Amino acid sequence: MKILQLSPRYIPFDLDKTLDCGQVFRWHKTGDDWTGVIDRKVVTVREEGLKLIYDGIDEKDLVKYFNLDLDLARVISTIRNSIKKFTGGETDPLFDAAEKAGEGLRIIRQDPWECLISFICSQNSNIPSIRRRISLLCSRYGRPLTDGQYSFPVPEDLAKSDTDHLRLCSTGYRALYLSKTSGYLLENPDFLTSLASISLKEARTELIKLPGVGPKVADCVLLFAYNHYQTVPVDVWIRSIITCGYPLVHTRSGEKKECSYNDIVDFCRAYFGIYAGYAQQLLFAARRDLPEIFPESSDSVKEM
DNA sequence: ATCCAGGTACCCA
DNA sequence: TGGGTACATGGA
């Protein structure tokens, strides 16, 4: 086991929040130890005070994976400044709660392929189901590593399987998306790499062309794998948090009954600024705590 | 049992 | 562009 001292520039960092916030689905905790797979290597990590005790990976790669070099305090203060500029200095109890709930949460640097497949699997499912589904895919199509872990399947592993076989991993109707998208990536192996060197807008357009990839999945990949922090994935939780908690969003949706996906994105970008995606992730992490601090209706965040 | 979940594709006006 | 609906499956 190796030790990484969490020096001031790596703080704040919270391992539990980072690995249990719905951005990645393969890590699991036993006792104080988290176990996962990074780049086909089994990695264990635990947090003890201001130290990370870890194994299976180099310090350099660990720091990179958890994005410890990012000045998180500056990210938060940049978001705060954007809010202040937007409101003219009013308080924001929602973001206060999100900041507290997500203190030390870091958006990690995830492998684009794994991220893409994971979020195709994620649609219309809750997080426990997603974890289970991806775990099945890995044990069935990945390669066995040590300690009962499996590597994440490569495009060929999924593309060469027939759709009915993929369906056995509780993928349901998503099996066809997985089959088609992995087939495309098998034929176009540079596709995901190339997204890193084109504009955010172009990369998003390209991603959405993939079968089973719409705005939400594309935005998750852009945020969690390519670290475009201004990107705001809008799921049902974020939709209700924004529409209930920030009524101003409705002024952007005109006469429409409901805010569109882009109405919510545009508001978040205007309100939270260039780190809107980070703000989104903090709000998502706090989603269970938010109803009680909504200004008026303390019923449920889910009610519009 | 019923509703819901880190949505997308497809059809229609 | 906007609005409706089917889609498979498991969690709560």
**Positions of strand B less than 7 angstroms from a protein CB:** 4-9
* A111, two tokens: 């492998």
- Residue A63's contacts (CB-CB under 8 Å, 6 or more residues apart) are A4, A10, A69
Name the residue closest to C1, CA to C1'.
A260
Give the per-residue pLDDT at A30: 96
pTM of the model: 0.96
Give the per-residue pLDDT at A255: 65
CA end-to-end distance (rounded Å), chain A: 50
Query: To 10 degrees, what angle do helices A72-87 and A261-272 make?
Result: 100
In angstroms, the Cα distances linking A223 to A129, A219, A220, A226 are: 22, 6, 5, 6
Q: Is the distance from CB of A221 to CB of A115 less than 8 angstroms?
A: yes
> Percentage of chain A with pLDDT > 70?
95
Give the per-residue pLDDT at A208: 98
Distance A184 CA to B10 C1' (A): 21
Which 8-state DSSP code applies to residue A66? T
* A284, two tokens: 């998502």
Distance A122 CA to C9 C1' (A): 12
The list of chain A residues with pLDDT below 70 reads: 254-256, 293-304
As beta bridge partners, residue A4 has A52
Give all strands of the β-sheet with A51-55 in edge-to-edge order.
A2-5, A51-55, A41-48, A33-38, A28-30
Give the per-residue pLDDT at A295: 56
Residue pLDDT, tens place only, A143-181: 999 999 999 999 999 999 999 999 999 999 999 999 999
Answer whether any strand C atom is within 7 A of the Cβ of A253: no
